[in-house]
Structure 1
Amino acid sequence: MAPRWSIPLVAGLAAPFGLYISFILLGSIPLFQRQYVRLSGTLIRGPYTSAAGEMLTSLLPVSYTRTSSIRSFGMTSISQNTGGSQAYLRNEDRLQAQPAGFAQDVTTTESFKMLREDPDARLVVYFHGNAGHVAQAIRPDSYHALTDNSNNHVLAIDYRGFGKSTGIPSESGLINDGAAAVDWAMKVAKVPASQIVILGQSLGTAVTSGVAEHFAMQGVEFAGVIMVASFSNLPTLLSRYSAAGFIPVLSPVRAIPPLMRFFQGFVVDKWQSDARLATLVGLTRTRLRLTLIHAKNDVEIPCSEDDALFRAAAGSVIGTDLDEEDFAKWKEERTVLRDDGTFVATVKSSQPDIVIREELVPYGGHNDVMMSSSVILAVMRSFGLESTKAS
């Protein structure tokens, strides 16, 4: 007969195991999978801030038309000419007179008019991560970082099912939403692709790779493609991902490959950024600036995921399939290693003009890395500003 103390012990161990199994089983259902990836909408809600008169960025919640069935929500941020604060000062009366609160039609806002009226406008289309909406957490601060003391404009969107945007999220749906936002920027705001950088963080990097591939197939090339805290593909990520940094997904079964493959087979939305970047590079005919940035202390998505993406993209430049050992040697020759273990690896091609850059930074974790100088400098390089002489 088992001792009495063993009963609560077994029950205590069985409870978390049961919860984990329930979590995995629910995750095999497409509806729940997409909610896990989404972690938004009714699950996480916070206030939308209206900062139409705020100094420097003039953030403004707006609505714009995406499709006939999806009502879209985004946030615009303007900053132009010789710096965010100077631009605001020159247009202070105009911006202060702009009505605060949600704007039903973005084309009626001063933010949009200033973007449309600026022939030299540089636009960053920002695709955020999986939790919350455009105005939550670090996102407004990251808009500031991208626009302060620059002449960058920012358009950030909520995908379908996120924030105030209607619809149900899916891989194809989110990529369509991202592509529609970029298409809107080119056709309605009249910003040419050569003056647009598409930038994503976390889940937004998968959207970014999908959008970049979509337009590459049409022969459209952007000023730059920047992916921060990215992952190679979802099945691979789930084998090592921990939600919030400590809740394992499939990592507990990684030691049993057949069981791992069984669970990975239930993943509906694959989010294969590695394959998409290889296609993007292969379709480039004129110019590509592709930048991968990851923090060494990211506890949610391992920085090794960027290595896989770099290899996929660089492989299209090399034109040959090197084995893992040979590729590591090839990459080492093109890497500047720092004393703290971080590095910058760069591969270049002259015809077409391609620069692929992988940068591992020491700090910033999964989210705060968006405010690092590496992201801002990546935007500047994409726009070719490293060759601009100081006046």
Structure 2
Amino acid sequence: MAPRTSQWAIPLGAGLGVPIALYTLFLFLGAFPFFQRQFLYAHKFNTLFWHDPNKPEYWGFARNQVTPFSLTTVDGETLYAWHVLPLSAYLRNEEKLQAQPAGFSNDFTKTESFHILRNDPNARLIISFHGNAGHIAQAIRPDHFHALTDTSAYHVLSIDYRGFGKSTGSPTEAGLIEDGATAVDWAMNVAKVPPSRIVIVGQSLGTAVTSAVAEHFAKQGIEFAGIILISGFSNLPTLLSRYMAAGFIPVLSPLRPFPPLLRFFQSFIVDKWRSADRLAQVVGLTRTRLRLTLIHAKNDLEIPCTESDALFRSAAVPISGTALDDDAFTAWKHDRTIVRDDGTFIVVAKAEPDIVIREELVPYGGHNDVTWSSPVALAVMRSFDSDSTEAS
């Protein structure tokens, strides 16, 4: 008679063997840049088969409130873009907007929407960079645009990065940075909106794009009205040691008990996305004004909120006045923090010439829904309203 343990040992071993084998295959494939980028950007996972971004009315926008159009990068990629009018501007121009053909515009500069943006000397523009997977109108993104335009006077510009949605090409770190810079260049040089009237916002992967774009322009002496990072991360190798895709699928976290093995697999990561270092550069290059806001939900199951702590530290160290060890920095941050009774907090650090760095931990919103929460809209308002100068 077989031992009783064999009655459950074999099925248990088989049950564990399948996920272990799949995880091993995942690690093996992830060592190759092509597969790694498929996993990281997940740009092929979208709903274009049954959703048409050229029909924004499907997501509750008024006819021609959203104008789909395209931008061309310096390396020849075509980026799909949305311009979203604030409802206040839409209402003032409703008759003309309703009379225009709807859908994709082959020449956005000839549309009424463009003229409303271009001809308003006080127009405020939010350039929004979304996270990985999907397309410009997928999941929570339309809700994010609604939250920013329904009850404000702010315009929104958003793009699909190369390889995403209807955009051409394949995503890489350098490529996505070029895409972000293309959107900002278009806003400043074609729409003629000065950087003092532009806030750049990113969520998840979009925070890495936003940080890189901010650094790119800071090196040119260009400062924006605001920089807002929602559900951000410090750098990709560190993130992947903690990240849970969809909130429950581990990436490199099972390797954390084995540091040499973890470092070995981290060495294969081709797109590093070192946002913490880039934010430190932005702060160090600021000569006039900076409004940097970090927002994270306490119940984010994908990217731990401690990642925003790391971003805050990297950005704040240059203005803290001296090199601080862990204990000294914790004390310095504590002196500037308001802790709420639910364990969330707001910390604000200020420095000359006119630098304000704010980190806010909110109780709810998870990884995605936080994008259309009031703290995000308030961060945009602070970025714009704290600028007392009117651009002309």
TM-score in terms of structure 1 length: 0.94
Question: Out of 52, 67, 70, which is 1:48 matched to?
Answer: 52
Q: Which residue type is aligned with residue 52 of structure 2?
A: Y
Asked whether the 8 Å contact 1:56–1:148 carries over to 2, the reply is no
- The answer to whether 1:359 aligns with 2:363 is no
- The answer to whether 1:74 aligns with 2:81 is yes
Partner of 2:325: 323
- The answer to whether 1:383 aligns with 2:381 is no
Q: Which residue type is aligned with residue 117 of structure 1?
A: N
Whole-Å Cα distance in 2 between the matches of residues 372 and 326 of structure 1? Answer: 33
Partner of 1:7: 10
Partner of 1:21: 24
Asked whether the 8 Å contact 2:64–2:97 carries over to 1, the reply is no
Whole-Å Cα distance in 2 between the matches of residues 56 and 313 of structure 1? Answer: 42
Partner of 1:177: 179
Partner of 1:39: 42
Whole-Å Cα distance in 1 between the matches of residues 330 and 52 of structure 2? Answer: 46
1:6 Cα shift? Answer: 2.9
Asked whether the 8 Å contact 1:56–1:144 carries over to 2, the reply is no
Asked whether the 8 Å contact 2:202–2:229 carries over to 1, the reply is yes
Q: Which residue type is aligned with residue 35 of structure 1?
A: Q
1:48 Cα shift? Answer: 2.7
Partner of 1:339: 341
Q: Which residue type is aligned with residue 373 of structure 2?
A: S
Structure 1's 167 and 25: CA in aligned 2 closer, same or farther, altered over 3 A? same
Give the match's secondary structure for 2:118: helix
Asked whether the 8 Å contact 1:57–1:147 carries over to 2, the reply is no
Q: 255-264 vs 316-325, which deviates more?
A: 316-325
Structure 1's 13 and 213: CA in aligned 2 closer, same or farther, altered over 3 A? same
1:165 Cα shift? Answer: 0.5
Task: Tell me the alpha carbon deviations over residues 25-66 of structure 1, each in whole angstroms, 9 at most, x when there is no partner.
Answer: 11111111111111123x323313423693398122211222
Whole-Å Cα distance in 2 between the matches of residues 371 and 151 of structure 1? Answer: 16
Asked whether the 8 Å contact 1:133–1:162 carries over to 2, the reply is yes
Whole-Å Cα distance in 2 between the matches of residues 135 and 4 of structure 1? Answer: 51
1:384 Cα shift? Answer: 2.1
1:365 Cα shift? Answer: 0.5
Same amino acid, percent of matched pairs: 64
Question: Out of 60, 76, 79, which is 2:67 matched to?
Answer: 60
1:257 Cα shift? Answer: 1.0
Asked whether the 8 Å contact 1:197–1:222 carries over to 2, the reply is yes
Q: Any gaps of 5 or more consecutive residues in structure 1?
A: none
Give the match's secondary structure for 1:75: strand
Structure 1's 68 and 238: CA in aligned 2 closer, same or farther, altered over 3 A? closer
1:142 Cα shift? Answer: 0.7
Give the match's secondary structure for 1:69: coil
Equivalent positions of 1:246-265 (< 5 A) are: 246-265=248-267
Task: Tell me the alpha carbon deviations over residues 190-226 of structure 1, each in whole angstroms, 9 at most, x when there is no partner.
Answer: 0001000000000000000000000000000000000
Asked whether the 8 Å contact 1:380–1:386 carries over to 2, the reply is no
Structure 1's 374 and 353: CA in aligned 2 closer, same or farther, altered over 3 A? same
Q: Any gaps of 5 or more consecutive residues in structure 2?
A: none
Q: Which residue type is aligned with residue 48 of structure 1?
A: D
TM-score in terms of structure 2 length: 0.94
Asked whether the 8 Å contact 1:254–1:260 carries over to 2, the reply is yes
Give the match's secondary structure for 2:105: coil
Q: Which residue type is aligned with residue 132 of structure 1?
A: G
CA RMSD of aligned residues (A): 1.8
Structure 1's 244 and 268: CA in aligned 2 closer, same or farther, altered over 3 A? same
Q: 56-65 vs 130-139, which deviates more?
A: 56-65
Asked whether the 8 Å contact 1:56–1:88 carries over to 2, the reply is no
Partner of 2:106: 104
Give the match's secondary structure for 2:174: helix
1:320 Cα shift? Answer: 2.3
Task: Tell me the alpha carbon deviations over residues 261-302 of structure 1, each in whole angstroms, 9 at most, x when there is no partner.
Answer: 111111111000000000000000000000000000000000
Asked whether the 8 Å contact 1:57–1:148 carries over to 2, the reply is no
Whole-Å Cα distance in 2 between the matches of residues 54 and 340 of structure 1? Answer: 36
Whole-Å Cα distance in 2 between the matches of residues 281 and 131 of structure 1? Answer: 30
Give the match's secondary structure for 1:383: helix
Structure 1's 386 and 364: CA in aligned 2 closer, same or farther, altered over 3 A? farther
Whole-Å Cα distance in 2 between the matches of residues 235 and 64 of structure 1? Answer: 31
- The answer to whether 1:197 aligns with 2:199 is yes
Q: Which residue type is aligned with residue 374 of structure 2?
A: S
Structure 1's 387 and 63: CA in aligned 2 closer, same or farther, altered over 3 A? closer
1:385 Cα shift? Answer: 5.1
Asked whether the 8 Å contact 1:37–1:130 carries over to 2, the reply is yes
